[in-house]
């Protein structure tokens, strides 16, 4: 870019979803059923799939607005302050009286794998009317990012509003619901991991061929682009022509995979909002997810645009 030339417009991202305080416990390995394992340390770190995605998008140089709820407890104030520190618009985050903020108990083993228990708290009180009150924000957005740690009817309302205004919707369907209405998957992009894809498609996802079958099934259920994240194996993309392409991951040492999927979804949204092709956007998202997995914590692990650019310079010129 030549000196004095205008800067490109920053993508406008709206996130509707969860805000949690993560209580992180680190240990050599996760306990088996009925087993007690001694951990090494605990931390209180800001998290929640929605808030993680919002922080990731902001660090990737998007203008981000958040729709959500926190409780009127000490965690709520800390969580709001953390989002504001990242430059995120929290004017549509409601402080819920006499209610605890969302809480997640995250056990992380030395391999980087994790086990998570979520207590929704105020997230469970995010209503369709809360989302309707932010219609203008969704209307003006390039991308709406959604997850399933808030009530399903609220997510469906957000999808409906986005469709009315032709806003691109990316759904990270986690945690995967036991049952769901067909219109949940009427979105531009769904980006489940292997277990979530298996639950949504009703098919096992163990091999790459399994992932292709599941992705095509998600397409048949209404998804325009099905993107299945495969951990260390990267991601699989299936587009409107039902052709699938495998996007390899990056060689990093996994430390904590807790929020890698959130970094992936946010980076995918930012890249698509910038007009990038779906396959290049997924490669960019794989880079962001890999960087997040190489660090501890959720929001603290979210990479910046410069960090991702060093991993995929060919996509960031």
Chain segment 161-189, per-residue pLDDT in tens: 999 999 999 999 999 998 999 899 999 99
Is the pLDDT score of 3 beyond 60? Answer: no
Domain layout of the chain by residue ranges? 12-315
Residues paired with 65 in a beta bridge: 14, 89
pLDDT range class, residue 2, cuts 50, 70, 90: very low
Q: Taking all residues of the chain, what is their mean pLDDT, rounded to a whole number?
A: 93
Distance CA 300, CA 209 (A): 35
Each as own residue / partner, the long-range contacts of residues 200-207 (CB below 8 Å, 24 or more positions apart, any chain) are 200/173, 200/176
User: Is 262 a known active-site residue?
Assistant: yes
Share of the chain above pLDDT 90, in %: 84
DSSP 295: S
Find residue 94's DSSP bridge partners. Answer: 69
pLDDT greater than 70 at residue 8: no
- Chain segment 214-235, per-residue pLDDT in tens: 999 999 999 999 999 999 899 9
Active-site annotation holder among 22, 130, 210, 262: 262
Name the pTM for this structure: 0.92
Q: How far is CA 78 from CA 21, 32, 46, 73, 96, in A?
A: 9, 33, 8, 9, 14
Read off the pLDDT of residues 26-77 as tens digits, 9 standing for 90 and up: 999 999 999 999 999 998 989 999 999 999 999 999 999 999 999 999 999 9
225-284 pLDDT, tens digit per residue, is 999 999 989 999 999 999 999 999 898 888 888 889 999 999 999 999 999 999 999 999
Q: Does domain 12-315 have CATH number 3.40.1190.20?
A: yes
pLDDT, tens only, 22-31: 998 999 999 9
83 and 91 Cβ atoms separated by less than 8 Å: no
């Amino acid at each position: 870019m030549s000196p004095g030339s205008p800067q490109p417009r920053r993508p406008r991202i709206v996130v509707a979803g969860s805000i949690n305080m993560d209580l992180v416990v680190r240990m050599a390995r996760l306990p088996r059923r009925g087993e007690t394992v001694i951990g090494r340390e605990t931390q209180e770190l800001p998290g929640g799939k929605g808030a993680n995605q919002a922080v990731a998008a902001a660090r990737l140089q998007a203008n981000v607005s958040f729709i959500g709820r926190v409780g009127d407890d000490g965690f709520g104030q800390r969580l709001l302050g953390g989002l504001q520190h990242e430059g995120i618009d929290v004017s549509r985050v409601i402080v819920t009286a006499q209610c605890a903020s969302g809480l997640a108990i995250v056990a992380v083993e030395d391999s980087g794998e994790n086990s998570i228990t979520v207590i929704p708290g105020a997230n469970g009180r995010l209503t369709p009317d809360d989302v309707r009150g932010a219609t203008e924000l969704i209307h003006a957005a390039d991308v709406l990012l959604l997850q399933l740690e808030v009530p399903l009817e609220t997510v469906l309302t957000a999808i409906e509003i986005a469709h009315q205004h032709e806003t691109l919707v990316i759904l990270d369907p986690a945690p995967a619901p036991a049952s769901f209405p067909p219109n949940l998957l009427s979105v531009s992009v769904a980006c489940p991991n292997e277990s979530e894809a298996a639950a949504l498609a009703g098919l096992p996802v163990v091999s790459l061929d399994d992932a292709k079958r599941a992705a095509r099934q998600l397409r048949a259920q209404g998804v325009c682009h099905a993107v299945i994240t495969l951990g260390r194996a990267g991601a699989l993309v299936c587009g409107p022509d039902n052709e699938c392409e495998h996007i390899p991951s990056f060689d990093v040492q996994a430390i904590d995979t807790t929020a890698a999927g959130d970094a992936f979804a946010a980076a995918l949204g930012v890249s698509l909002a910038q007009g990038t092709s779906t396959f290049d956007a997924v490669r960019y998202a794989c880079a962001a997810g890999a960087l997040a997995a190489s660090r501890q914590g959720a929001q603290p692990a979210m990479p910046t645009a410069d960090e991702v650019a060093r991993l995929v310079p060919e996509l960031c010129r």
